Amino acid sequence: MKSVDRTAFFTRLRELNPHPKTELEYSTPFELLIAVMLSAQATDVSVNKATRRMFPVANTPQALLDLGDDGIKRYINTIGLYNAKAKHVIETCKKLIDLHGGEVPHNREALEALPGVGRKTANVVLNTAFGEPTMAVDTHIFRIANRTGLATGATPLAVEKGLLKNVPKQFLHDAHHWLILHGRYVCKARSPECWQCVVRPYCAFRDKAPSRSSS
């Protein structure tokens, strides 16, 4: 994708959604961290249903530790992989208290040292909680970047590096959210709804795009 097309691509997304945000519900960096940890291989809808019950009861590292492993599981047992996730939440809370005074660290190395926190989760927290111009590459962003030609790559890290290089700086803070939402609701994996895609004129996939009648 040419530089002028990348600018037009994100200008159009910004026009339609000037202030994009995550669909995960949170009110503090710690709540966001836990919600993103729970969202691995799960939908935001399922995570929100669980955290709406859990966060009013326990939304700090110490409060979740006080709930204990079994207590946390009772709130998140509708989410996939909840046993492993409960264990990671407990271990992460301990580290946050022991190493960071109960606060979520504002740097990648410290975030990735937390149990259950990989590069993608760290990038979400850095971008969404702390305003860093990072790019968390999930399945939606990986697909869209390759499909549209924004940034091609065989691995999430390669796509991340490509997007950080190719996305115009004025859009980088919000690009993560625009791309996720576009992938979730329009540029879907199996049945992309290209007939209603607002950035179709700039997309490398446009000549292969299905029409509404063929979907």
Joined together, the tokens standing for residue 133 give 């111009």
85 in catalytic set: no
Map tokens 């700086």 to a residue: 169
Q: CA-CA distance, 89 to 174, in Å (whole number)?
A: 27
Q: CA-CA distance, 49 to 76, in Å (whole number)?
A: 9
The CA-CA-CA angle for residues 179, 12, 24, to 5°, reads 35
Whether 35 and 29 have beta carbons less than 8 Å apart is answered as no
138 in catalytic set: yes
For residue 23, the 8-state DSSP code is: S
Q: CA-CA distance, 111 to 89, in Å (whole number)?
A: 13
Buried/exposed 48-67: b ≥16 CB within 10 Å, e otherwise: bbbbeebbeebbbbeebbeb
**The one catalytic residue among 85, 98, 120, 169:** 120
Buried/exposed 123-162: b ≥16 CB within 10 Å, e otherwise: bbbbbbbeebebbbbbebbbbbbbbbbbbebeebebbbeb
**The one catalytic residue among 138, 161, 174, 208:** 138
The residues annotated with a catalytic role in the active site are: 120, 138
